[in-house]
């Protein structure tokens, strides 16, 4: 096999160009807030895009306050779910105990458009409040362009 100068240059360029990976959220029911903060800060710092293409509930929604909104888009399958923060049920004998401090921390990350939606819908409660794809969601996050 003969290596031409052009193919060698292309190979060198590909090796030195940072890989661009998108985070594709399809079924994320949330988890530990601190883990999501670390994950999304890494996504933000790498300049990656986030495509919400399904369920993004609970701590998953922190993406909206950590990754720049111009790097996030939604597909027709997207939905967001919000509720009050609560302590790990392993430490509360299986009982859902809400955390005012944790809820305040979550709210501090959200952009004003999300905070406004939450307020208009009765604030954060123990029940999940969902935004499904459509006009309400598009007021917060842009639909994904076809080239994404």
Tokens read off for 55: 């369920």
26 phi and psi, to 5 degrees?
-120, -30
**pLDDT band per the 50, 70, 90 thresholds, residue 18:** very low
Is residue 56 within 8 Å of residue 63, measured between CB atoms? yes
In tens, the pLDDT along 64-115 reads 999 999 999 999 999 999 999 988 777 778 888 899 999 999 999 999 999 9
Using alpha carbons only, what angle is made at residue 137 by residues 140 and 46, rounded to the nearest 5 degrees?
A: 55
Is the model's pLDDT at 147 over the cut of 90? no
Does this model's pTM top 0.85?
no
Over residues 55-71, mean pLDDT = 98
**pLDDT band per the 50, 70, 90 thresholds, residue 16:** very low
Is the model's pLDDT at 11 over the cut of 70? no
Using alpha carbons only, what angle is made at residue 43 by residues 117 and 60, rounded to the nearest 5 degrees?
A: 40
Hunting for tokens 């999940």 — which residue is that? Answer: 128
Give the whole-angstrom CA distance, residue 103 versus residue 118. 12
């Amino acid at each position: 096999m003969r290596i031409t100068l052009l193919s060698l240059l292309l190979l060198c360029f590909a090796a030195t160009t940072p890989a661009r990976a998108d985070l594709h959220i399809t079924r994320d029911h949330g988890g530990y807030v601190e883990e999501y903060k670390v994950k999304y800060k890494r996504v933000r710092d790498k300049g990656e895009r986030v495509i919400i293409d399904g369920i993004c509930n609970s701590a998953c929604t922190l993406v909206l306050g950590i990754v720049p909104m111009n790097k996030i888009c939604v597909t027709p399958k997207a939905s967001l779910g919000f509720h009050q923060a609560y302590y790990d049920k392993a430490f509360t004998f299986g009982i859902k105990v809400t955390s005012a401090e944790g809820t305040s921390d979550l709210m501090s990350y959200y952009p004003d458009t999300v905070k406004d939606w939450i307020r208009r819908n009765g604030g954060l409660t123990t029940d999940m409040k969902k935004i499904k794809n459509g006009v309400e969601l598009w007021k917060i996050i842009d639909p994904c362009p076809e080239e994404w």
